[in-house]
Structure 1
Amino acid sequence: MDTDVLVVGAGPTGMMLANELRVAGVPPVLVDKLPQRSTLSKAGGVQSRTQEAFDQRGLLEPLLATGNYPAGTAHFAGITLPLTRDRHRHPWRSVPQVVIEGFLERHLAAQGIPVRRSYELTGLAQDEDGVTATFASGDVIRSRYLVAADGGRSTVRSLLGAAFPGRAGTITTVAADVRLSGDDPAMTHARSEDGHWASVFPLGTDPRGRPLRRLALGGPGRSVPREVPVTEDEIRDGLRAVFGSRVQLLELCYARRITNAARQAARYRHGRVFLAGDAAHVHLPIGAQGMNTGLQDALNLGWKLGAAVRGWAPEHLLDTYHTERHPVAAAVLRNVQAQSLLMDHQGTGDPDLTAAKDLFAALARLRDVQYHLDDVLSGMGIRYPMPAAEDLPLVGLPAPDLDLGPVRSHELLRPGRGVLIDPLDRFAKVATLWQDRVDRAGQGTGTEPMLIRPDGYVCWAGNPDDLEPALGHWFGEPHRRTELDRS
């Protein structure tokens, strides 16, 4: 083998996965077909759960220190959810994808994992022992596992012949990075009486410190073929249709047309090959949910692949990647499709649709509705199917951030190992048997006992009799099984 894991695609998903594997003690080979990193912003927001994931690895503060990334308020179909802004430890933030990619690439390079560029995949074959990847350059890389993080038009998925069911795009809208003048709305969702609409939110600043905005435009007659270039005149006309003379275009930095295509891979695992990020799911970009979902794919898969390579993964562990993450992306596709319908991207002005949106907007003023939508959008409401999860309120959910005296519980996850919170010092004997992969902490604190996976999800809480089965289920056979038998 040339490497244990080959990651194809160096976008946010691929680089996050590479870092998770590094933390797990299995540094991968990371390749990308582009000769240099993209300078396009693409996605522009980071959810609460994604920020927690960065924080668990000690990456959040360094990331936020690279610029001014203001906290914002989530929205659903353009309807703001102000009651949710301070609900989580980390509020939604506007951090462009290009910033995240640059930050992760520099971090990986400093850890000895450079991105190998100009690696265009042309062939793929797998057998019982590994995967052979062939590239246009003539290079061949042999790995035990391969992860496809190569985007919505994934070459890996195509070479696999993997089913990618769903709906082709039926409309297009414009997405652009711009500098604006006049009122220069920092964040707004506006619509004219004749159905033209615009969404604007901050993207930080350009290299000269000037504020950038992500602008989306749509409405009657604005859905044109995807390959038609977006012009400055088209942007100006769209702004005028919504804002009149109050907002003007100063500079168009980048623009593209996006579609409402919605597809998801039928299976995320194909033998020794795994699909992640946009290679596994695509949808209309709303709220950067695609990027955030891909980053969470990486967080879920990384420690499991690391466990498999290091030899302690239970037989079923790699299959839980599909069973846990496929329903999450399916739910994202559903909420995006609902938002797209309510936003009426084509500006039809259908009175039935207007009535439905008015009713929804009224419901969205209720606290419980805002909280539910926030759970959907922030990633904090994800609950993975786990043994006893239905009976115990914490199991399957992201772990709470606990005060354990000198440290917070999220800091204990930085080595990429499991964490057993043992406040009454009851589980020392059983924990010792998994001490090569699970740390024990929390003695003398007022928290409740729980077992946290390396990706930050609670996998046991409550009944002491269930702790040993939970350790075995998620962390494999204990290192010193015979000593437990003697005791």
Structure 2
Amino acid sequence: MDTDVLIVGAGPTGMTLANELLTAGVSTVLVDRLERRTELSKAGGVQSRTLEALDQRGLLEPLLATGDHRVTLGHFAGVPLPFDSNRHHLPWRTVPQVVIEGFFEEHLAAHGLHVRRGHELAGLSQDESGVDAVFANGAALRARYLVAADGAHSTVRSLLRAGFPGEPGTLTITAADVRLGGTEPDAAHTWKGDGHWAAVFPLGVDGRGRQLRRLVLGGPDQLRPRETPVTEDEVRRGLNTVFGTAVQLLELRYARRITNASRQAEQYRHGRVFLAGDAAHVHLPLGAQGMNTGMQDAFNLGWKLGAAVHGWAPKDLLDTYHEERHPAGAAVLRNVRAQSLLMDWAGTRDPEVLAARETFMDLAQLPEVQHRLADVMSGMALRYPMPGSAIHPLIGRPVPDLRLGRVRVHELLRSGRGVLLDPADALAETAAPWSDRVDRTFQGARTEPMLIRPDGYVCWVGAADLEPALEGWFGEPR
């Protein structure tokens, strides 16, 4: 073996996974077909759940120190969600994808893991013990496992001939990174009576301290073939159509067309090959859910691959990646389709669509609805199907960031190991055979006994049947 895990694709999903494997002590090779990192900001927001996962690895504070990444206001179908609708201790932040990729690349390099660029995958095969990858530049690698994080047009997925069912794109919108002048838009989303609309979100500042923004333009004028280049005059006309002369285009950094294609891989696991991020699911970019869902794929998969490499993974542990993440991806595709309909992306001004939107806007004024929508958009509504989840509401959910004396639970997860909270100091003998994989703590704990997976999800609560839970998630005892 040249490496334990080969990751194809060095975007947010691939880099997050590389860091998880680094934490797990697994040898990793990370390759990308691009000669250098892109400067395009395909996403601009980080959900509460992703922020929690970064905090659990000690990466949140250094990431936020890279710039002015302000707390941001979420939305569902363009309807703003009040700040107090997010009840979680880490609210959304504006962190452009390009910043996340740069941060991870520097962090990984500081720990000896460098992205191998200019590696375009050309061939793939696998057997019972490993995966062989051949690249267009003549390089070849053999790994125990391979993870496809190579985007919506995944070469790995194509080589596997993996099913990728769904709906093709039927319309396009334009997304651009810009500098704007003139009057500040009154709201993130602005609609015109003729079906044209625009969305404007902050992306932080450039090296000269100038404000950058993500501009999205939709409506009848944007229904063009995806391959048609986006011109500066087109962006300027789109701004003028929605805002008149009140908002001016000062600089166009880049622009691209996006379709409403919606697809999801039938299987996330193919033997020793796994699909993650856009290689596993694609949809309209609403609420940066694509980037965040991909990063959550990586947090879910990383520790499981580490367990398999180190030899203690339970028999079916790697299968739980598909079992847990496929429903999570399907839920995102559903809410994106609903938002697309309610937002009238194509600008049809269909009376039935407008009536549905007006009804939805009325419902969205209710605090209970706002809380539910905020949970969905922040990634906190997810609950993994786990044994015992019908017994206790915490099982299958992210662990609350409890304070145990001077230490927070999230800090205990930075080792990448499981954590057992044992407030009565009564489980030491039971947990001892798993002490090489699970850290036990009891000092300062004012909570029920709780077993937490390395990815921060609660997998057991109570005082009985701890051994089956330990064996089910952490393998045979020593």
TM category, shorter: over 0.9
Letter in 2 for 1:147: V
1:445 alignment counterpart: 445
User: 1:67-216 to 2 correspondence within 5 Å?
Assistant: 67-82=67-82, 84-185=84-185, 188-216=188-216
2:465 is matched with which residue? 466
CA contact (8 A) 2:57 2:413 kept: yes
* 1:207 positional shift: 1.6
Amino acid at match of 1:334: R
Aligned residue number for residue 248 of structure 1: 248
**Kept in 2: contact 1:424–1:443 (CA 8 A):** no
> Using the alignment, how far apart are the partners of 2:305 and 2:126 within structure 1?
17
- Alpha-carbon deviation of 1:126? 0.2
Tell me what 1:485 maps to.
none
Question: 8 Å contact 1:187–1:201 — kept in the other structure?
Answer: no
What is the TM-score of this pair, normalised by structure 2? 0.99
Superposition deviation, residue 184 in structure 1:
2.8
- CA deviation digits over 1:221-240, x for unaligned, max 9? 32100111111111111111
C-alpha displacement at 1:284, in angstroms?
0.7
Q: Report how far residue 86 of structure 1 moved.
A: 4.9
Q: Secondary structure at the match of 1:414?
A: helix
Rounded Cα–Cα distance in structure 2 between residues aligned with 1:84 and 1:147: 38
Q: Distance in 2 between matches of 1:75 and 1:322?
A: 29
Distance apart, 1:445 and its partner CA: 2.8
| Equivalent-residue separation in structure 1 for 2:139 and 2:458 (angstroms) | 42
Aligned residues: 478
Report the CA distance between 1:443 and its aligned residue: 2.9
Amino acid at match of 1:372: R
Per-residue CA shift, 1:370-423, capped at 9, x if unaligned? 111111111111100000112211000000001101210000000000000111
How far has the Cα of 1:131 moved from its partner? 0.4
CA separation in 2, counterparts of 1:186 and 1:359? Answer: 23
Q: Which runs of 5+ in 1 are unaligned?
A: 480-487
Report the Cα distance in structure 2 between the residues aligned to 1:303 and 1:314, rounded to whole angstroms.
12
Q: Tell whether the 8 Å contact from 1:424 to 1:444 is kept in structure 2 after alignment.
A: no
Q: Which amino acid aligns with 1:428?
A: A
Cα distance in 2 between the residues matched to 1:317 and 1:248: 54
What fraction of aligned residue pairs are identical, expressed as a percent?
69
Task: Give deviations 1:55-84, integer Å, cap 9, x for gaps.
Answer: 000000000000001111110000011054
Structure 1 distance, partners of 2:236, 2:169, is 25
Distance 2:473 2:385 in 1: 13
The answer on whether the counterparts of 1:425 and 1:444 sit within 8 Å (CA) in structure 2 is no
Q: Is the 8 A contact 2:85 2:367 kept in 1?
A: no
- Distance in 1 separating the partners of 2:242 and 2:80: 19
User: Is contact 1:41–1:97 with CA below 8 Å preserved after alignment?
Assistant: yes
- Counterpart residue number, 1:392: 392
CA distance in 2 between counterparts of 1:314 and 1:236 reads 57
1:475 alignment partner in structure 2? 474
Equivalent position of 1:61 in the other structure: 61
| 1:302, distance to aligned residue in structure 2 (A) | 0.1
What secondary structure is seen at the aligned counterpart in 2 of 1:295? helix
Q: How does 1:305-454 map to 2 (within 5 A)?
A: 305-454=305-454
Q: CA RMSD in A?
A: 1.0
Cα distance in 1, alignment partners of residues 277 and 473 from structure 2:
23
Unmatched tracts of structure 2, length 5 or more: none
> Within 1, Cα distance between the matches of 2:434 and 2:8?
33
Q: Does structure 1 retain, via aligned residues, the 8 Å contact 2:450–2:458?
A: yes
Asked if structure 1 preserves the Cα contact closer than 8 Å seen for 2:19 and 2:108, the reply is yes
CA distance in 1: counterparts of 2:368 and 2:402, whole angstroms: 25
CA contact (8 A) 1:221 1:346 kept: no
Deviation of the 1:28 alpha carbon: 0.5
Give SS of 1:433's match.
helix
Amino acid at match of 1:150: D
**Shift, 1:85, TM fit:** 5.0
Q: Which amino acid aligns with 1:474?
A: W
Q: Which moved more, 1:212-221 or 1:300-309?
A: 212-221
Q: Which residue of 2 aligns with 1:285?
A: 285
